[in-house]
Amino acid sequence: MVHYYKVNCVRDNLRLIREFVTVVLRNLSLSEIEVNQLVLAVDEVCSNLIIYSHNCDPNYFLEINIEDQSGKLLFEIIDKDADNFNMTEYKEPKIANIIKERRKGGVGLMLVNRIMDSVEVAVEDQRSIWRMTKKIVAS
């Protein structure tokens, strides 16, 4: 079953996105920490797209699919208008440098990579699709 949600690119919608992911994952046998991690990963990608790719312009939309593939969760965040982000060129910054430079940003994608088993960004039919997977253990 695929759970689908569509929101426009408004900063305050991040809360609604988190609620959507939480409700979907609540039905699975995951711990509170696991649910929070997955919510966080989706939130990080969506906040980057909403704030940096679309400047919080409500005329742009994101679509989110969550699919339980028996033992694996697939998260897709679809953006029809974003520039393609080349995930293969991403290099994780060093925490020590971020602290030294007193930067407030730079760890969002680091969190996503550490939480998810796989993260890829594909361009299909002129849409940018963030595709992330996470193995889950049935309890």
Partner 1 sequence: MDSINLFGYKLTSCLHVNLNMQIKTTTEDKFHIIEIYGDVDASSSIKLDQSVEDAVKEGFKDILVDCSNLNYISSAGLGVFMSHIEEFKEKEICFALFGLSPKVKNVFEILGLDKLLQILDTKQEAKEIKDKEVK
Candidate list 2, 57, 58, 95; residue touching partner 1; CB under 8 A: 95
Nearest to partner 1 of 46, 121 (CB atom)? 46
**Shortest CB 21 distance to partner 1, Å:** 11
d(CA 16, CA 32): 18
Interface residue with partner 1 among 107, 127, 133, 134 (CB under 8 A) is: 107
Nearer to partner 1, 36 or 65 (CB): 36
Would you say 75 and 115 are in contact if contact means Cβ atoms under 8 Å apart? Answer: no
**Contact status, residue 60 vs residue 54, Cβ threshold 8 Å:** yes
Q: Give whichever of 1 and 102 is closer to partner 1, judged by the CB atom.
A: 102
Per DSSP bridges, beta strands 2-8 and 61-68 are antiparallel
Crossing angle (nearest 10°) for helices 32-47 and 108-115: 140
The reply on whether position 28 binds partner 1 by CB under 8 A is no
Q: What are phi and psi of 16, to 5 degrees?
A: -65, -35
**Interface positions with partner 1 (CB under 8 A):** 11-12, 14-15, 18, 32-33, 35-37, 39-40, 43-44, 47, 50-51, 95, 98-100, 102-108, 110-111, 114-115
